[in-house]
Amino acid sequence: MGGERTTATDPYFPDHGDSRYRVHRYELALEYRPGPNRLAGTARLSAIAGRAPLSEFHLNLSDFRVGRILVDGRAPHYTHRGGRLRVRPAKPLPAGAAFTVEVHYAGNPRPVRSPWGGLGWEELTDGALVASQPVGAPSWYPCNDRPADKASYQISVNTPSAYTVVAGGRLLTRTTKASTTTWVYEQSAPTSSYLVGLSIGMYQTVLLGDPGLGGVPQSAHVPAHLLPRFSRDFARQPAMMQLFEELFGPYPFGEYAVVVADEELDVPVEAQGLSLFGANHVDGARGSERLVAHELAHQWFGNSVTIADWRHIWLNEGLAKYAEWLWSERSGGRGAQELAAAAHRMLSAQPQDLKLADPGRKLMFDDRLYERGGLTVHAIRCALGDRAFFRMLRDWATVHRHGVVTTAVFAAHVARYADEPVAELLSAWLHQPSLPPLPSPQGSPSIPQRPTYPPTNGGGGGRGQASA
């Protein structure tokens, strides 16, 4: 596994996560009743203490009623206030020791309040979904809520049989007894807490692409009345998968699923092996196709290659934004240089107060971060030349597959592919708030400009909203 571990507290969310230990597996057994929005769960965490003995540790969990907690089978002392479970084991855990934590809890899940609205568990008109970025995971299960702490997951959900349950990972079993069905999913790849996705709703399940041709299994879970529009809007997702595997390396997970909720969502949201869209992203005219590409690209950039803390969010969003431009370039839409010029014009008219490599919590989801992130990647492409750039990009996703990275690690990686020093270029784009000049490419691009895939209707610009 590539990347680096970090033991620092996330400066943007110091109350989330505990660097004194790490979790390597979660097993969640949940019962959910949509009508009363009632969730009861047992979470079993397998963890490892850090370099010092662990006399206490913290978990993040919203305002559920906690029935029981066990640490290695013994009841600890604990307090639960302000979204934090403070657990003091009966005996301190030795440095480096493996231990288990079991939490039994129940209540009415609701989103975590944040400057960007509610995050995490959202009750829908008929069902529920989870969209946790960045700190919404504690709205439905106890976790060490920091992106660098990646673990495998098994998620079991019992709910009325009329509902479909979708989670990231492989569906192991679906068992119906009386009027309820239990769905069990396994996500074996290391996963950050904010990337554990879940949706419960009235869906029809369809396969995308031709399963007989091999490749990555792709499924979609869509309300029946939206299927005609969906079939057009997502028709080219298998071609996106093919292109991104060519450019970024093999898809990093076992399968990919998309869910379309029967409600409007502000933006689509990525989860591990899963992306969540709203009904407003399905119009039958491919009006949100760039967002389909954006969310798929996050499976490489953000989900497999994960940031150590939220200061580095541009690595997720800038690379996913640039993937939109690459898809447009290869599918008969506008080329990356044209899209970069449009982004540069937009940013030129905006305040110059955003430092990309450390935007601060207030600006971490600002539209300018997405656009400037894409422009930064384009500037690197122009400096390296296409042959070196695409080798760099593929190697980044491959070397750090399932790992944890920082902006400094990325800068060092880019420098290894450059014929000339790039430190000054990277400093201007990443660490200075003023916008550098529009980059221009070296020579003729080696990524084909001709349509490699069926052309879009109206080009690749899509709509002007940011995507998570």
Return d(Cα 67, Cα 361) in angstroms, integer. 34
Q: What is the CATH number of domain 1-200?
A: 2.60.40.1730
Amino acid making up residue 91:
K
295 annotated active-site: yes
Binding-site residues from annotation for Zn(2+) = 294, 298, 317
How, if at all, do strands 57-60 and 256-260 pair?
Answer: unpaired
Whether the Cβ atoms of residue 440 and residue 421 lie closer than 8 Å to each other: no
Q: Report d(CA 414, CA 396) in Å as an integer.
A: 9
Is the distance from CB of 147 to CB of 308 less than 8 angstroms? Answer: yes
Considering the candidates 289, 295, 324, 329, report the single residue annotated as catalytic: 295
Q: Which amino acid is at 208?
A: L
Residue 378 region by backbone torsions, left for phi larger than 0, else alpha for psi between -120 and 50, else beta? alpha
Question: Among residues 272, 342, 279, 233, which one has the least CA distance to residue 131?
Answer: 272
pLDDT in the model for residue 8? 65
Of the residues 105, 141, 203, 370, which is catalytic?
Answer: 370
**Phi and psi (nearest 5°) for 82?**
60, 30
Helix axes 407-415, 423-431, angle to 10 degrees: 150
How far, in Å, CA of 165 to CA of 254, rounded?
18
Domain boundaries, the chain: 1-200, 308-431
Cβ 63 vs Cβ 37: under 8 Å: no
Catalytic-residue membership of 370: yes
Beta bridge partners of 107: 39
Q: pLDDT tens, position by position, for the chain (468 residues)?
A: 444 444 468 999 999 999 999 999 999 999 999 999 999 999 999 999 999 999 999 999 999 999 999 999 999 999 999 999 999 999 999 999 999 999 999 999 999 999 999 999 999 999 999 999 999 999 999 999 999 999 999 999 999 999 999 999 999 999 999 999 999 999 999 999 999 999 999 999 999 987 666 789 999 999 999 999 999 999 999 999 999 999 999 999 999 999 999 999 999 999 999 999 999 999 999 999 999 999 999 999 999 999 999 999 999 999 999 999 999 999 999 999 999 999 999 999 999 999 999 999 999 999 999 999 999 999 999 999 999 999 999 999 999 999 999 999 999 999 999 999 999 999 999 999 999 999 998 754 444 444 444 444 333 333 233 456
For the stretch 51-62, pLDDT in tens is 999 999 999 999
The DSSP code for 3 is S
- Number of CB atoms found within 10 A of residue 272's CB: 26
Q: Give pLDDT, residue 449.
A: 42
Annotated binding site: 294, 298, 317
The residues facing 459 across adjacent strands are: none
Please state, in angstroms and rounded to a whole number, the distance separating the CA atoms of residues 386 and 390. 6
Q: CATH top-level class for 308-431?
A: mainly alpha
Report the pLDDT value the prediction gives residue 443, as an integer from 0 to 100. 54
H or E stretch at 367:
helix 367-384
The rounded distance, in Å, linking the Cα atoms of 250 and 392 is 15
Element (H, E) at 427: helix 423-431
pLDDT value at residue 306: 98
- Closest to 394 (Cα-Cα) out of 323, 328, 444, 454: 323
Cβ-based neighbour number of residue 133 at 10 Å: 24
The per-residue pLDDT for 285 is: 94
